[in-house]
A and B are shown apart, each in its own frame.
Chain A
Amino acid sequence: MPVNDTLATYSDWLYRAAALVYVFAMVFYTVEQAFTRKAKKSELARELVGSGAPATPETPIIGRIDEPPSAGRPERFGRMAVALTVLGALLHLASIVLRGVATGRAPWGNMYEYGAAAMLVAVVTWLVLARKFDVRRLGAFVLTPVVILMFLGGTALYTPAGPVMPALQSYWLVVHVSAAIISSGLFLVPGVVSLLYLAKVRNDADPRRFARLGPKLPAADSLDRLAYRTTIFAFPIYTFGIICGAIWAEAAWGRFWGWDPKETVAFVAWVVYAGYLHSRATAGWRGTRAAVINSVAFGMVVFNLFFINLVIAGLHSYA
């Protein structure tokens, strides 16, 4: 299958455009964040009743504010930031689709493509969550790692469009790798939110710490819940991805598990996520410890993508 170079070039342009639009969106989120004095009154009130009785039957626990009391300047910036994020995601999606068409295969056969797809999942996850929960102003924190990872992907890891080696020519590529992509992209959000949770908790205990950031963050237990609910959504997908990887390895490499570095770190990240879920059911481990564990777990996922692929030789080093 020959590669369509024109389409591949368009795909690269769209990738860069998407990253650029994300940067603008980040700026807008930051402006909103900077000009919002603190968490809005109405939101605070709602947060307080959040875990108790909801005020009206239809209100979700943490409500999205459909009709903001006053659409001030920060609010407008925030809305533009969301619009830009959506635009960026569309360009991003187009870039990935074009690469798939250009190469005539699933567009996730190397690290550049893998990263691009995972970051799209992260952005879409974020957009979905921002619709459900009032956490829009945190957009800059989510987009920062996205933009950094996209920059690394587009430069250091960039791979020209081409076919993949025989070991990757299998429908398991589609199943296993898309599960890995979706779960890694999803995990990014709780990873970031858990860090913000830690900042918020520090600020609650001592207002001098994270003094600028803390007051503008949503309540600690909203952050905790957001992280938890996203993680329990992503964790089974990650589990599924690992199982499919083992099934594929049985067909491609002669054994379903061989402690190849990539397998090992996937196992470690999985165990740490399991630790996170247990910690929320263990007295004395909820809250801060759980948040640290969640961040560490996401750190392992990123470590697995970069360090293991680039530094350590293993069977996964084709990318």
Chain B
Amino acid sequence: MSGAVAFARNTWRGLTSMRTALTLLFLLALAAMPGALLPQRSLNLPRALDYIEAHGWWGTLLDRLQFFDVYASVWFSAIYLLLFISLVGCLAPRTVEYAKALRTKPVLTPRNLTRMPHHQTAELDATPEQVMADTRVRLKGWRLVEREEADGARSLSAERGYLREAGNLVFHFAMLALIVALAIGKMTNYEGQVIVLADGSQFCNSGTLGYDSFRPGLRVDGTDLNPFCVRVNTFDATYLPNGQAEQFAAKIDYQAGDDLDTDTWRPYDLRVNDPLRVVGDRVYLLGHGYAPTFTVTFPDGKKRTQTIQWRPVDTLTLLSEGATKFDPPGVTDPAERRKRQIAVTGLFAPTALVEDKVMTSSHPQLSDPGVAVDVMRGDLGIDSGRGQSIFQIDQSLVDSGRLTRVARQNLKPGESLTIDDGTKISFDGAVPWVSLQVSHDPTQVWVLVAAVAMFLGLGVSLTVRRRRLWVRATPGDGGRTVVRVGGLARTDQAGYGEEFHRLAAQLLRSKGSVRCP
């Protein structure tokens, strides 16, 4: 029994020792590094999967060991948990000690002040009592104790710089608070992304289904989102001649709270660096692209028009790829429908440049759009129940011959092509889309408060110095008094010298002579 207690006590002591804390600190640094060097699932899933794929058994092993989810891994969590415990174990006794230190008196004046790292002596024309009174005035802000000694001598112990330890404690406690706030944030946050056409289309934060992708925190099930709606009216971008974006902004309207009931819209200019903050959530403008509009006129004269986002393949010129998919109207027989579905795929260029019939984009601005399309007909696989990318057609259906290319052509707005069965496909133009992110994190403001407290605590603890000063006044010959001053810095000796000499010069500002041993 006592063995177990001893073991527990030793473990606790070991864990909360400075040496362990230091080791854990370096382990934390070391453990964080792979996250910078290896692609992480949370940041770039496709790249992480490619990497694992490309590195065979080694990639698989690293994956098993959670090297692609470093910051959620067991080992990373273990290190910071241990550090957290070590920190608590270290701070609790330090706080108690600090509280005690605040109440204890400055230590006795050493017998021999000339042994101190800093010391000076002078003879003054004053009684010890006068010297003490004068010193008290000069040492305002210091914690003082005056003591009577033998032979009518008097001494004064002074200490200041208690704020250093206070700052240090604030820093470490704020760090604890920050870690706790982060952990709560991880439980309660969510992040959703959605693409909205900039033609007056709307998005409402009513459920996870409205999003293209949704990443909930550990305790979020997506049923309780803060309701608000956003309407994207226009999107404007200005570019440099080389295609680098200079500025972009979306003009949006939004409604939340009571506005939802009264259907009131409020305008906002959504820009990079300038998210919309509404009902505790934030809406960001993350990216943009174009959605070409195609109209398909079927042989029976029925028309279908669609504007679907295509995704940029070149971020500089916004050359985009995509697949706009059409069901033949009025065909009820599923087998028949699967023979006559149509997809318009290929490339979209906001400023088209055609050389040898090959289209590229020369600039990201929507000034002279064009598309280079393949028209595919057959079974798109939409009915199969398998989810598929909205940007692509299912290549396996092409390979198996169930989906075949029936035309390939470059089109400008207003131009059209006609395929063998008389179906006409026309390219009508394009509208920009914006990609929005909605973020929800109720604790981020606490993280900020903790971080600021950390910074202030750190500043105090690194600038304030704990230092001691002693003055002893001994009656000398002829009514004069020998005054000795000694000083000791408890941290970083080097910085105390100047202050000490200034103080000593003031204290010994003599009517008599200053003697420096």
- Whether A256 contacts B444 by the Cβ 8 Å rule is yes
> B4-12, B15-23, B217-225, B473-481: which one contacts chain A?
B15-23
Select one of A57, A60, A235 contacting B516, CB under 8 A: A57
Residues on A with C-beta less than 8 A from B452 are 243
Residue of A nearest to B247 (CB): A166
- Contact indicator per residue, chain A 50-74, by CB within 8 Å of chain B (1) or not (0): 0111101111111000000000000
Min CB gap B244→A, angstroms: 6
Check A260/B43 contact, CB under 8 A, given A56-B516, A268-B29: yes
- Whether A272 contacts B32 by the Cβ 8 Å rule is no
In the bound complex, CA of A68 to CA of B24 (Å): 48
Q: Is A175 an interface residue (CB 8 A)?
A: no
Min CB gap A205→B, angstroms: 24
Q: Is A247 an interface residue (CB 8 A)?
A: yes
Residues on A with C-beta less than 8 A from B25 are 271, 274-275, 278
Select one of B28, B284, B517 contacting A254, CB under 8 A: B284
- Whether B273 contacts A282 by the Cβ 8 Å rule is no
Q: Is B40 an interface residue (CB 8 A)?
A: yes
- Whether A236 contacts B501 by the Cβ 8 Å rule is no
Q: Is B275 an interface residue (CB 8 A)?
A: yes
- Contact indicator per residue, chain A 210-245, by CB within 8 Å of chain B (1) or not (0): 000000000000000100110010011001100100
> B101-109, B304-312, B389-397, B453-461: which one contacts chain A?
B453-461
Min CB gap B264→A, angstroms: 26
Identify the interface centre among B40, B282, B451, B498: most chain A CB within 10 Å of its CB: B451
Residues on B with C-beta less than 8 A from A252 are 272-273
Q: Is A170 an interface residue (CB 8 A)?
A: yes
Check A229/B494 contact, CB under 8 A, given A236-B459, A271-B28: yes
- Whether B35 contacts A259 by the Cβ 8 Å rule is yes
Min CB gap B462→A, angstroms: 5
Q: Is A153 an interface residue (CB 8 A)?
A: no
Q: Is B58 an interface residue (CB 8 A)?
A: no
Check A275/B455 contact, CB under 8 A, given A250-B444, A264-B35: no
- Contact indicator per residue, chain B 355-393, by CB within 8 Å of chain A (1) or not (0): 000000000000000000000000000000000000000
Give the residues from 384 to 419 in chain B that come closer than 8 angstroms, CB to CB, to chain A. Answer: none
Select one of A51, A246, A284 contacting B117, CB under 8 A: A51
- Whether B494 contacts A225 by the Cβ 8 Å rule is yes
Residue of A nearest to B456 (CB): A236
Give the residues from 242 to 282 in chain A that come closer than 8 angstroms, CB to CB, to chain B. Answer: 243, 246-248, 250-256, 258-261, 264-265, 267-268, 271-272, 274-275, 278-279, 281-282
Residues on A with C-beta less than 8 A from B492 are 225, 228-229
Min CB gap A243→B, angstroms: 5
Q: Is A165 an interface residue (CB 8 A)?
A: yes
- Whether A236 contacts B120 by the Cβ 8 Å rule is no
Give the residues from 229 to 259 in chain B that come closer than 8 angstroms, CB to CB, to chain A. Answer: 240, 244-248
Residues on A with C-beta less than 8 A from B118 are 53-54
- Whether B32 contacts A246 by the Cβ 8 Å rule is no
- Whether B191 contacts A255 by the Cβ 8 Å rule is yes
In the bound complex, CA of A56 to CA of B439 (Å): 63
In the bound complex, CA of A314 to CA of B38 (Å): 12
Min CB gap B48→A, angstroms: 13
- Whether A251 contacts B28 by the Cβ 8 Å rule is no
- Whether A166 contacts B501 by the Cβ 8 Å rule is no
Residues on A with C-beta less than 8 A from B32 are 264, 267-268, 271
Check A259/B22 contact, CB under 8 A, given A56-B516, A232-B462: no
Check A254/B455 contact, CB under 8 A, given A57-B501, A275-B29, A284-B19: no
- Whether B244 contacts A165 by the Cβ 8 Å rule is yes
Select one of B29, B245, B271, B454 contacting A239, CB under 8 A: B454
Identify the interface centre among B26, B36, B70, B492: most chain A CB within 10 Å of its CB: B36
Residues on A with C-beta less than 8 A from B454 are 239
Residue of B nearest to A308 (CB): B36
Residues on A with C-beta less than 8 A from B19 are 282, 284-285
- Whether B240 contacts A163 by the Cβ 8 Å rule is yes
- Whether B248 contacts A166 by the Cβ 8 Å rule is yes
In the bound complex, CA of A281 to CA of B37 (Å): 32
Min CB gap A258→B, angstroms: 7
- Whether A281 contacts B117 by the Cβ 8 Å rule is no
Q: Is A167 an interface residue (CB 8 A)?
A: yes
- Whether B191 contacts A278 by the Cβ 8 Å rule is no
Select one of B29, B43, B117, B272 contacting A166, CB under 8 A: B272
Give the residues from 103 to 125 in chain B that come closer than 8 angstroms, CB to CB, to chain A. Answer: 117-120
Give the residues from 128 to 164 in chain B that come closer than 8 angstroms, CB to CB, to chain A. Answer: none
In the bound complex, CA of A61 to CA of B447 (Å): 42
In the bound complex, CA of A52 to CA of B455 (Å): 34
In the bound complex, CA of A62 to CA of B495 (Å): 11
- Whether A282 contacts B43 by the Cβ 8 Å rule is no
Q: Is A144 an interface residue (CB 8 A)?
A: no
In the bound complex, CA of A240 to CA of B26 (Å): 21
Select one of A162, A258, A285 contacting B22, CB under 8 A: A285
Give the interface of A toward B (CB within 8 A).
51-54, 56-62, 162-163, 165-167, 169-170, 172, 225, 228-229, 232, 235-236, 239-240, 243, 246-248, 250-256, 258-261, 264-265, 267-268, 271-272, 274-275, 278-279, 281-285, 308, 312, 314
Query: Given contacts A236-B458, A254-B437, A256-B444, could you give 14 more A-B pairs where the C-beta distance is less than 8 Å?
Result: A53-B117, A57-B516, A163-B240, A165-B245, A229-B492, A229-B495, A259-B40, A259-B70, A261-B35, A261-B37, A271-B25, A274-B25, A278-B18, A281-B18
Show 17 A/B contacts (Cβ-Cβ < 8 Å), sorted by A.
Answer: A51-B493, A53-B517, A56-B516, A58-B501, A61-B497, A163-B244, A163-B246, A166-B271, A254-B439, A256-B444, A259-B42, A259-B71, A271-B25, A272-B26, A272-B29, A278-B22, A279-B22
Give the interface of B toward A (CB within 8 A).
18-19, 21-22, 25-26, 28-29, 32-33, 35-37, 40, 42-43, 70-71, 117-120, 191, 240, 244-248, 271-275, 282, 284, 286, 437, 439, 441, 444, 447-448, 451-452, 454-455, 458-459, 462, 492-495, 497-498, 501, 504-505, 516-517
